[in-house]
Structure 1
């Protein structure tokens, strides 16, 4: 049976309409993800700055102790707890995002941001405020460019995934080794490779988030969309923070007091 031109036109219009709805939903979803990420970044920065600038809290996390280089802030028990606790929140969210309620996922995300902020307090002790601000804007520009690339490129970045994860595990292991050997050369190499890894992960994760939305077609206002948007924001936030810290290690100006 021949298919009439009118029917083909109707089918084409239906496909175009469906694609337009999908595109609009994707843009709204990505905007939600970026809003969660930006809000989390603001909270993280506020907590870090508040602890660093309020002496009683600052001394509770990093008490002054006499060292070979003179009186210096050193990490106390609270600082070590703050540095370890973000990992616990990430693990809970990673394994429980599809099982936990939306409110629980959101609460865990805010708790992660507070813990991460507390763990980043030391950057205001180690680096000058000017260099922290400068590196932040460099990171924001780099992150924005790579995330835009990941969203718009037609290239399939999934092939990069396994390579980037190998690089990530490699710098984690190298970082653990360097905690004992204290090699400045190894630390420099870790920072350079780490920047490349997290620049790549930013583009990769953005494309993955886009592909997941298209594959699973999260309904606007659904519980799944609400939970996944928070989790996806967490992935991008982790990329941003790690990229910021690595660039700060490479280009930040050290404070004369620490």
Structure 2
């Protein structure tokens, strides 16, 4: 999960002024990406609802869209250090694609549930991000475990897309919330260390900022998706 190949620095009471400015930039990029996703979803619901609903009613179309999104995210991450501007543009493109995906969700889930899931996601994300930023623990040892868990979630989700089982769906949703909560803390912890390893190099700092914004954006939207699933499952059980 470390695209930079940098050795983890040991930090002793580092100056947080630059770190705070760095994370202000990271979250600025991340919130811009979320805004693009929300705007795309709004246009999708109000203008292209029929077309998007028809397209995403086919599991194969969902897999194709997911494949394109994974390719764009991977390329954006790989370009973050060598060409931060291109990486940022790709992140915005990814945000648009995610907006298309969320259009299908907005068409089938009531706004009250979406809002509740969003608030819950923001609270969980914020808490885990603060933990990852402030903990003195080095979380790099979690990399392999989290990467394996994400791969397992992807494979399990694809299988359940074709052979749906409600118990498996619930289990995947719960595991997804746990994994992306931990991933949020891990990414914040990693970004803090990456920042201090490139501090003073303007282009490298910019590259890490874009990389961090993309990582945290992915953590947030995936956490939101799994939390929304749980809201749907238990909301339907209460009807």
The verdict on a shared fold, with TM-score over 0.5 as the criterion, is yes
Shift of 1:45: 1.3
Please tell me whether residue 229 in structure 1 is matched to residue 209 in structure 2. Answer: yes
SS in 2 for 1:116: helix
Please tell me whether residue 135 in structure 1 is matched to residue 117 in structure 2. Answer: yes
Mapping 1:58-97, distance limit 5 Å: 58-63=49-54, 74-75=57-58, 82-97=65-80
- Report the equivalent of 2:44: 51
In the alignment, structure 2 segments of 5+ residues that lack a partner are 1-11
Shift of 1:185: 0.8
1:176-211 deviation line (CA, Å, top 9, x unaligned)? 221222111111110111110000000000000001
- Report the equivalent of 2:162: 180
Quick check: 1:83–1:116 contact (8 Å CA) kept in 2? no
Alignment CA distance shift 1:173-1:79 (3 Å):
closer
SS in 2 for 1:120: helix
Alignment CA distance shift 1:162-1:76 (3 Å):
closer
Alignment CA distance shift 1:77-1:50 (3 Å):
farther
In the superposition, the TM-score normalised over structure 2's length comes to: 0.85
* Distance (whole Å) between structure 2 residues aligned to residue 249 and residue 30 of structure 1: 30
- Report the equivalent of 1:41: 34
Aligned length: 223
In the alignment, structure 1 segments of 5+ residues that lack a partner are 1-15, 65-72
Quick check: 1:63–1:75 contact (8 Å CA) kept in 2? yes
In the superposition, the TM-score normalised over structure 1's length comes to: 0.79
Quick check: 1:139–1:243 contact (8 Å CA) kept in 2? yes
SS in 1 for 2:155: helix
Quick check: 1:63–1:76 contact (8 Å CA) kept in 2? no
| Larger Rg over CA atoms | 1
Shift of 1:134: 0.8
Shift of 1:53: 2.2
Aligned partner of 2:23 among 30, 33, 36: 30
Shift of 1:85: 2.6
Quick check: 2:194–2:208 contact (8 Å CA) kept in 1? no
- Report the equivalent of 1:5: none
